[in-house]
Amino acid sequence: MKRIIAFLLTLLFGLSFAACAQRPAPAEPTEPPVPTEPAKPTEPPAPAAPTEPAGTAGADPTEDPVIIPDHRTSLVHHNEIGTVYISPEGNMYAIQGENLDGIFGGAECETSILDGGEVYYIKPGSTPALLDTNVEKACFMFYSRYENKYYGTYTESLVYLKKDGTVWLRGSNPHKIFGSFVRAEEPVKLLDGAANIGSDDFSVTVGLEDGRILAWDCRETNRKGKAFVIAENADTTVLCGDRLFMTAEGELFVDTAFESGKRFSYTSFGSGYSSFGIFGTNFWTISEGDGAFTYYRRAAGDSEYKPAVTAEGAVFASSSVGARGWCLITGNGLCKAYSVSGDGLGSAPDAVLCGMDGWSLWVIKADGSLSISEKSGGMKTIADHVLFAVSGPIQGTCLFETEDGRLWSYGFCSPEDVPADAFYEIVLP
């Protein structure tokens, strides 16, 4: 019996040893690869080959839906005033404009005659003026119905929100709606506790942290600089002047008394909207879910707003104060631009972001390329790796920021020895 037990133990030990011997030895640890810094372009973005505007009318917007990226709106533009640039750190610079009443501080400005019209821009080669720091957002108000010895027939105001929740003003103070001073040649603090700001050509709105929306309006000349409440318990994430606002429950209200000689009269346009915006005296909405787009227009003599343009499957729309048109992107990436009357102005495919905040339509495509509309019609692709853009003061020009954080002008803002259709880098201090 002892011999049998010994034999079995010997056999079991041998099998265990053989199994261990067949296991592969652990691999020697290796050093992780050393990361390399991505190369940064040292040359201006080279113009790409022009592409023809494509897209099929009536295409199914549910096919290959477009996802709008979260682009940082670094450039703020008004076609009658100019452009400011807000860096990722919050530094705000004057880039282009006529600098009326010192709205852009000590910026050196020049006048150029382009296409028979005057264009004001920051002097080429000069350092863009630093207007303020710690800035979160900015907006313009251009009031053209005011005349006095200081402003002529219009005023220019730059209002901006700082990261600490304070709101500030530079430039004009028409009818002294912001306070007792005549104009702000240096920044003037307006209030604290703000979460957002917005504007149109007649008013500035502030969304407070407590859910109220305050407004300063050029039609309200007897408030002695005090902002007034237009809504409580409101959605303050989207503001575009005091013409319209949305409640926290999602109900949209529109001032239907605008330009009728009456005081404010807000009318409900229902709920269920994912976004909305204003264009001139008109406005647009996009419905949640199906993306139904409606552009409401009130023509001269009309007593109510009527749908002028409708579209299905809209995922993005854009309109700006002082713009010459507006644009939208449907779910298949087709971008279309329109005039105030609703007439089509052009189209471009594969769009993920667009704007018509000046004379030209600009489109950033899914591949990061930037295209702008030309006077001759059609779209021209001018740069790659673009983060954001705004239209220039004349057709076929623009300002844009590339992914490496550099700022470029195309078609203007360049010295005399640089061709008009060439890139000109605007070097920040």
| Residue of 314, 296, 316, 292 lying closest to 304 (CA atoms) | 296
pLDDT at 377: 76
Contact 151, 174 (CB under 8 A): yes
Confidence category of residue 359, pLDDT binned at 50, 70, 90: confident
Could you tell me if 225 and 166 are in contact, meaning their C-beta atoms sit under 8 angstroms apart? no
Distance CA 307, CA 326 (A): 15
pTM of the model: 0.79
% the chain with pLDDT above 70: 71
Cα angle for residues 200, 378, 298 (degrees, 5° grid): 35
Three-state DSSP at 161 gives strand
How many whole angstroms separate alpha carbon 76 and alpha carbon 26?
59
Measure the CA–CA gap between 139 and 76, rounded to whole angstroms. 7
Nearest to 351 by CA among 74, 57, 55, 75: 55
Give per-residue pLDDT as tens, 270-291: 999 999 998 878 899 999 999 9
Residue 231 has pLDDT above 60, yes or no: yes
Q: For residue range 371-385, list pLDDT tens digits in order.
A: 998 877 788 899 999
Please answer whether residues 101 and 172 qualify as being in contact, where contact means their C-beta atoms are separated by less than 8 angstroms. yes
- Looking at residue 50, its pLDDT comes to 34
Residue 201 Rama label (left phi>0; alpha psi -120 to 50; beta): alpha
- pLDDT category at 126 given cuts 50, 70, 90 is low
The token pair at 133 is 């720091």
**Arithmetic mean of pLDDT, 23-28:** 38
Q: Which of 317, 240, 247 is closest to 278 using CA atoms?
A: 240
Residue pair 313/329 in contact by the 8 Å Cβ criterion: no
